[in-house]
Every structure is written in structure tokens, then in C-alpha cells.
Structure 1
Amino acid sequence: MAKIRHVLGISGGKDSAALALYLRRLYPDLEIDYYTSDTGRELDETYALIERLKSALGKDITEIKPIEENNTNAESNFDHFLELYGGYLPSSMARWCTKKLKLEPFENYIGNEPTISYVGIRGDEDREGYISKKSNVQSIFPFRENIWSEDVIKKILSNQNIDQLVLLYERAMEVKELEEALHYISKPINTSYTQKQKLEALLRIGVKTFNQVVFQFLKTTDYPIGKLNSFPLIENEDIIRLDDVFQILEESGVGAPGYYNKLDYEVEIDGENKKGVYARSRSGCFFCFYQQKIEWVWLLEQHPQLFEKAKTYEIDGYTWMQEETLEELSQPERVIAIKKEHYLRTHREQSKSDNNWQDDILAAEGVGCASCFI
């Protein structure tokens, strides 16, 4: 068997932590290297989760360096690159922080070794996550029904590979089962029969069979998994969703990241004092520009020193939010207005859903960088 490296990035978020625990429990023989890339501007709760995870895994988590040691006098890795960008703060339109502090360090860490990268995109998410452009790196998504990345699916389901796909299914299935399956397998993708529809049909025929077919197909390519004699995840049919992630974390003793703990706040609504709850919806830097307004208020009240630090970055017209500065947001009347809006919005949503705590997280996950928040 070829020497293939297995890696899993730990962001300090719930999903990557749960994935590490899940794979450790189900596939203890997989020699996975865990790594993290520290921006130097994470929440204390993030660092605490990583320490608990190290203990539970019984294995160290390598910190990969965005910059070489003794190569900067800046306070943190983030500050080093902020200086290089002339104080220009990252934003949703210019995410240099993800590129310089997460993606490029990962690419350098991997080098040219054939590598399988395990990514914690869940079965209830509709996003792909970061796919390395390096040909020696292959991403796998163990929490999803479809564990394969979009590039692999596009290749195997390509119309030009229909004959190969039919042959692989003939080898993988009994004749009596194959007849019905061939209707979907041999049907070309077009405007009325999309790649997504074909994928869903093949998964319905059988997840394990589809995985076995993909595995055999990859043996005809240069993908890292194709260099393996066997790959245990092709037998897995689990679909891990948000509540499963929290269950994995709790049962392991690692627990959820502390920033998910719902805390009370009070606000006056129509002359009555009301109690709402707030928390942070994801991992990432404490000043992440993807934060909601109520999360900035949470930071102001729960980590006032970090909030003040975030304010110091807002200079020369560079601000974390387009419409207001942190100084403006921190004014008492503005804090009250944000809490009031949050209270009214969440209580409207609670009347429509029994799983509001999940809805908040799922909504937040639809925006942002998978490399930072998984």
C-alpha cells in the first residue's frame, strides 16, 4: 500500500472536534495527524476546547505556523499580516485572513505528500467546504451521505465515463439488482436530468455500493485514495447532523465550545422587562466580521477587554462593519436597540420552530469561511 498521509484540521469549532472524536472511535487504525492554525486572535473558549480535545484524543494537535518564528515583531499572526496589508481590515469581500492564516499554512504543511484531508461538513449542511487545488490533496466528508468532493463526483458522473460507470456497477452488484439500477447509471446528464439528480438516485440504490464504485474508479486516477488497497470509510452509511455533533462532544467529555452557552440579557419591551438569551454562533477570531450585531454585544459584555482590542483595529476609515463602528455600537442606547431587535426576532422565530437553538447555528453557518468555523 502506498504511503498516504491522513490529516484533520482543528479550528476550535464543534464540527472538527466532533469529527476527530468520531473517526478516532470508529477507525482507530487510521493514523490521522491533527493540526490547527492559530491566528493569535481566537477566543479563550476556543483554546480551551482544543486543550480538552487533545486529552480526549490522547494525541497532540500540531500548530502550523502562518509565519516563521522570529520573523515578526507583531503581537500575533493576524497582526503581522495586518501590517503587511497596511492596516486594511479583512472583510467578506477581501478575506485575506483566511487565505494567509488558514489556507496557505495548510498548503505549506502538506507539501507534496499524497494526502487525505477529513472535513467536518455535516449531513444537514448544503456547502462543500474548502477543496485544495493541490492535486496531491483529496478531501473527504465523513459526516455526509456523500463522502466525496464535488470534483470527484463531477468526474465519475461525467457523460463520457458512462461506459466505465456501467462496468464498475456490473462488477459491484448482483445481476438481478443491476437491471433496475442501470436505468439511472446509463442515463446521460442533461438539462432535465442533472448531476445532483443522478447522484441522489445512485445513493438511493445503495451508499456502500456507490462508495465501492467510486473507490474502484479512483484507482484509475492519481487521487490519493486511489493509491490505497482499502479505505474503511466506504462501508460507512452514517449521516451526522447538528444534534449528533453535540451528542458526540458531550459523550466524549470534551463538551461543546464554551461560547455556545446561552447567557441571559435583559431588555425593556413595551414597558416590561424581558429576558432574552445570547451566545456566539461559531468559532473564529473574536473580531470576526461575520458576527451578528448581537454577537458583538455578547463580546462587549462577556469579554470587554477583547472588545476594546477589536476597537483598536478600527482606524483610518477601516471598520469591522460597513454601517457603524464598534465605538458607535457600544453606546448604551445602541446596545439596547440591538438587544430589543434580537429579542423580538428570536421570539418571532421561536413561534415557528421548536429547534430555535439549532436554527440560529444553521443560519450562521450559511455565511462565512468553512476553514475557520467547522
Structure 2
Amino acid sequence: MVRQVCGISGGKDSSALAVYMRDKVSDMEYFFCDTGAELPETYAYLAKLEVVLGSKITRLNSTRGFDHYFEVFRGALPSPQMRWCTNLLKIKPLEDWLGDEEVVSYVAIRADEKNRTGHVSTKPNIKTVFPFVDEGVDHAGVIKILDNAGINLPEYYKWRTRSGCYFCFFQRKAEWVGLADNHPELFKKAVAIEQKVLKDAGVSGDADFGAQGMKSGQYTWSQGETLTQLLDRRDDIMASHEKSLKRAKENRKNVPLVDVLSDALDDDDDKTPCTVCHL
């Protein structure tokens, strides 16, 4: 028997796909790769989603967590160039869970972003399909699916538009400020991890990461500065973000606020996130 599986990241697209497939595939298995470093809002949203689906979402945990692999990689932070967190805390637990059984994996790439690439396993027993691309479901369609299901969006969408770990290096500057405001204890944990890397590398926490030859990506979560330095620039960051919000509102009238926020954050920093974590 071929297993049918649908991964949920805690973001709007994968959640909408789970609801969309609910009545189409009766034996669908829903799963969530839990790094142990997710936002509280994500866990709360998964609980709501289970009620809507009428099905349990299987939590897949790595046998060893972030702290273990952080030491294995000699205190090197994960980064866009070295995404060991994605490989070891997301992809490996999934492929271990699936084993060698024949599987169809449903991935939530939308029709309006079909040029993006979701995770496609290299294992020959896993076939990846993209229902939203095949059936023309775009961003507006995703929002409609969630609205019709009465589940709406995760609470973190008020200040952040991507799911994933609280310390995700793909966060924009304004989202780091949002983390500090909404979850100061998690922000402090992210700072502590970063400070350990700096200390072990013999780099001063006040270092000028704009200096020639200083590669901040080796030592810091946010490009070009430490989180402490970032928070010191809070007023400038949020002033710039408010300008981006104003431009987004003027350019896209009569659209949901989440779209305005997303446009503004992309204007702040438009680096493409990892689709394994952020769909």
C-alpha cells in the first residue's frame, strides 16, 4: 500500500494544503517536523488545525536536538550557506519515518510561485506532488481555504510572515525586533547562542562586522551585526519598516493586512526563505 503524507510547517500554505486534501485523500498522514525550537504560536496553531482536520498530526522529532548538532558543528551557526538545521532536524527525521515504503508526499508550493522548489526527496520510494500548482490554487486561494475552514492565520503573522524556529537566520531585521517584543525570553536564548559562538571564536561582541574580511554569517544570526547590536538600532529598524509598510499599503489597496506586512518585510529584506521550513 502506498502511503500518502502531507507535511505541515505551521505556515499558511502547508496548513491550507492539509485542509484542501482532507476530503480528497481519506488515508492521508499529516506530519510536523518538530525541532523543539518552534514558536509557541506554531504549537497552538497545530492544535487548532488538528480539530479542523479531524486527524492527529504526527510530530517527528530528531533523535538529537539542535544543541547536540550545534556542538557537532563546533559551535557554527546554521546559515543560508550551511543549512545543517534543515537537513538534520527536518529532512532526516522525515526520511527516517518514511523508511523504504512507497510514498506520495504532498508539498504546498502555490500556483503563483511554481518556479520555487519545495523539498524533493532523492529517495526513489518517495514521489513528490504539488496539488496547488496542478490545480491552480494561488495565494488568494490559500487564504480562502483557511477562512472557509474557520482557522484563519497563526498569531505570529501579526509580526512575522514565515514559520520556522524562533532563531531562524532567514528572519528580517524587523522580525527579530518582533521576536524581542513578543517573546523576550526566546530572543535572550538566541542572543546566548550567538554570544557563545563569538566567545569560542575569540570575536568581540562589539566587533564591526562591516569591516573588510569579517564574515558575520560565521558568527551571527542576522547579517552584518549581532542581535545586541541589532536591538540597539531598534528605532532605526522600525522607522524604516514603518516606511515600508506605508509604501506597501499605498501600492496594494484593499488587500489583507498579512499581504501588506509581507510586502513591507520583503522590501526590508527580500532574501528567499527555505521552503522546507516556511511554506
C-alpha distance in structure 2 between counterparts of 1:105 and 1:114, whole Å: 17
C-alpha distance in structure 2 between counterparts of 1:121 and 1:49, whole Å: 20
Structure 1 residue 322, shift from structure 2 partner: 3.3
Alignment of 1:338 with 2:218, yes or no, is no
Alignment of 1:373 with 2:249, yes or no, is no
Task: Indicate which of 8, 11, 14 corresponds to 2:9.
Answer: 11
Shift in alpha-carbon separation, 1:283–1:337, aligned structure 2, 3 A = same
1:30-69 superposed matches below 5 A:
31-67=27-63
**Which residue is 1:246 aligned to?**
143
**Which residue is 1:319 aligned to?**
220
Alignment of 1:101 with 2:2, yes or no, is no
4+ runs deviating over 3 angstroms: 359-366
The 3-state SS of whatever aligns with 1:239 is coil
Structure 1 residue 66, shift from structure 2 partner: 1.2
TM-score when normalising by structure 2 = 0.84
How many percent identity over aligned positions? 42
The 3-state SS of whatever aligns with 1:124 is helix
- Indicate the RMSD between aligned Cα atoms, in angstroms: 1.8
Structure 1 residue 366, shift from structure 2 partner: 6.4
Gap runs ≥5 in structure 1: 148-237, 262-278
TM-score when normalising by structure 1 = 0.64
The number of aligned residues is 251
Alignment of 1:91 with 2:87, yes or no, is no
Counterpart residue identity of residue 323, structure 1: G
Counterpart residue identity of residue 262, structure 2: I
Alignment of 1:352 with 2:234, yes or no, is no
Gap runs ≥5 in structure 2: 199-218
Shift in alpha-carbon separation, 1:313–1:259, aligned structure 2, 3 A = same
Instruction: Give the conservation status (yes or no) of the 8 Å contact 2:245–2:260.
Output: no
The 3-state SS of whatever aligns with 1:282 is coil
Shift in alpha-carbon separation, 1:78–1:115, aligned structure 2, 3 A = same
**Which residue is 2:125 aligned to?**
136
Shift in alpha-carbon separation, 1:251–1:7, aligned structure 2, 3 A = same
The 3-state SS of whatever aligns with 1:324 is coil
**Which residue is 1:296 aligned to?**
176
Structure 1 residue 359, shift from structure 2 partner: 5.7
C-alpha distance in structure 2 between counterparts of 1:113 and 1:120, whole Å: 22
The 3-state SS of whatever aligns with 2:162 is coil
Instruction: Give the conservation status (yes or no) of the 8 Å contact 1:242–1:358.
Output: no
